[in-house]
Amino acid sequence: MNLTPSPFAPAEFPALPQVKGVRAATGSRGFYARRGITRDDVFLFVFDEGTTCAGVYTVSQTASADVRWCREALETGGGKARALVANSGNSNAFTGPKGVLKNEATLKALTDTLGVPKEECFLAATGVIGEPLADPNFVGTIIPDLASRLGPPDWEAATRAFMTTDTFAKAAGATLDIDCTEIGFAGIIKGSGMIAPNMATMLGYVFTDAAVAPDVLQDLLEDITNETFNRITVDGDTSTSDTVMVFATGASGMAPITSRDDPRLDAVAMALHSVCLELAHLVVKDGEGAQKFVAIEVTGACSHISAQIIASHIANSPLIKTAIAAGDANWGRIVMAVGKSLEPVDIEQLAIWFDDVQVAKEGARNPDYSEEAASAVFAQREFTIRVDVAAGDQSATMWTCDLTHGYVDINGAYRT
């Protein structure tokens, strides 16, 4: 499959900070060989003893075997982590007992090679659904080789190893100073299609050498996820494999944060939030076939949840997304999406803006409406659609992209 690079693809991979206590390696098991493609498709991360972790996973009722294992390991292992393995090319979802055998073989390879508890090892897979591997140890076979080549993470190589229909490697980083100690955050993510906010919406991992207790880290990740990854959509579909995890090695040497009342947690939360928000935006900017990136802001809602629901109806509407693709400032479709949400709206006060151009006010077309001005906004690569539903004082924002012929082309040829 030949993929056209996203217009938002950066000129180069970002420089990420050093994260102490993390080693990594990448390799190839030939998941893409049948397509005539030679590339790395597996990565291994290994963490220093004492690393804590947190995770949020898809709510799909057909979650992959890897997701089910991660949920179990996160609970039984008490939020401790020593290893992470991910592969692209096969999602290990809806693979029945064979999917479980694949995980057991991979975990045995990790415990035998690294000498770590299996409940501190996490797995992920992304790719085609419903195709069991003929050899349960297909991924496990490469673990000894990867372990022999562990070193400081090559963040770009790791990011490229778990890409599927992504057109560029997506990463974000941050640093902060706590008690005269520099803390690094490095995040990598993959995702381009099958993206909708229903936690999670892709495979994403953030690594930090901060020291944070697992229960505090879990609460923090759940809060941040609801403000970032659960606010993006490409096509309205939620994957069977969606995962976001944070690994905190504590190797910076800072005193551990063990309570949400610790004043240092605010700085950690801000850094983690900035990394997660940037990663979330990058996923939408690399949406399959996407040419435009649009923020949907809903204000004046009766509750935050109501604002979220209205925003999601706008962000996921094929009619609105195709209008965005065509540069057609058809604001009537916004009115349609608000109404179909079935959320409280004061129709006599409803107002709509495209950036700073007000197209509707007091429940009707703005008397000063300019088709030329509205169309100029829709011609931009990035813009904001804002809707005030005049039913309260709550708000929410989502981020979406347009729907182009490219999306159909990519998904029509996904398995070829």
Residues 192 and 301 in one domain: no
Residue 8 lies in a domain: no
What is the value of pTM for the model shown? 0.94
33 and 109 in a single domain? The answer is: yes
Is 410 or 332 the better-scoring residue by pLDDT? 332
CB atoms within 10 A of CB 292: 24
pLDDT score recorded for residue 260: 97
User: What is the pLDDT at residue 173?
Assistant: 98
Helices (H), 317-414: 318-326, 332-340, 371-378, 405-412
pLDDT above 70: percentage of residues in the chain: 97
Q: Do 201 and 155 sit in the same domain of this protein?
A: yes
4 in any annotated domain: no
CATH number at residue 62: 3.60.70.12
Domain end among 231, 255, 285: 285
Question: Is residue 2 assigned to a domain?
Answer: no
Of 285, 313, 336, the position where a domain reaches its end is: 285
What is the residue range of 338's domain? 293-412
Q: Please report the pLDDT score of residue 268 as a whole number.
A: 98
Structure tokens at 29: 């098991």
Question: Are residues 152 and 65 part of one domain?
Answer: yes
Q: Is 159 among the domain residues?
A: yes
Number of domains in the chain: 2
State whether 261 and 363 are in the same domain: no
- Same domain (yes/no): 278, 306: no
Q: What is the Cα–Cα distance from 124 to 89, expressed in whole angstroms?
A: 11
Q: Mapping DSSP to helix (H, G, I), strand (E, B) and coil, where does residue 53 land?
A: strand
Residues 118 and 188 in one domain: yes
The answer to whether residues 207 and 19 touch, using CB atoms and an 8 Å cutoff, is yes
- Are residues 75 and 181 located together in one domain of the fold? yes
Looking at residue 297, its pLDDT comes to 98
Average pLDDT score over the chain? 94
Cα dihedral across residues 234, 239, 241, 243: positive or negative: positive
Q: Would you say residue 29 has pLDDT above 90?
A: yes
Asked if residue 15 is part of any domain, the answer here is: no
Q: Are residues 350 and 209 in the same domain?
A: no
Query: Residue 199 — very low, low, confident or very high, per pLDDT cuts 50/70/90?
Result: low
Give residue-wise pLDDT tens across range 138-184. 999 999 999 999 999 999 999 999 998 899 999 999 999 998 999 99
The number of C-alpha atoms within 13 Å of 98 and in the hemisphere containing its C-beta is 14
- Parallel, antiparallel, or unpaired for β 42-47 and 22-27? antiparallel
- Of 26, 113, 159, 201, which residue is the catalytic one? 201
> Mind listing the pLDDT tens digit for each residue in 381-406?
999 999 999 999 999 999 999 999 87
Q: Are residues 188 and 111 located together in one domain of the fold?
A: yes
Residue 195 has pLDDT above 90, yes or no: no
201 is catalytic: yes
Q: Coil, strand or helix: which one is 152?
A: coil
pLDDT at 50 over 80: yes
Whether 395 maps to a domain, the answer reads yes
Please indicate, yes or no, if residue 6 is contained in any of the structural domains. Answer: no
Tell me, yes or no, whether 307 and 232 share the same domain.
no
Domain final position from 261, 285, 309: 285
Please report, for the domain that includes residue 351, its CATH number.
Answer: 3.10.20.340
Q: What is the pLDDT of residue 408?
A: 81
Q: 269 and 387: one domain?
A: no
To the nearest 5 percent, what fractions of the chain are helix, strand and coil?
35, 25, 40
Question: Is residue 62, in this structure, part of any structural domain at all?
Answer: yes
Asked if 347 contacts 363 with a C-beta cutoff of 8 angstroms, the reply is yes
Per-residue pLDDT at 197 exceeds 60: no
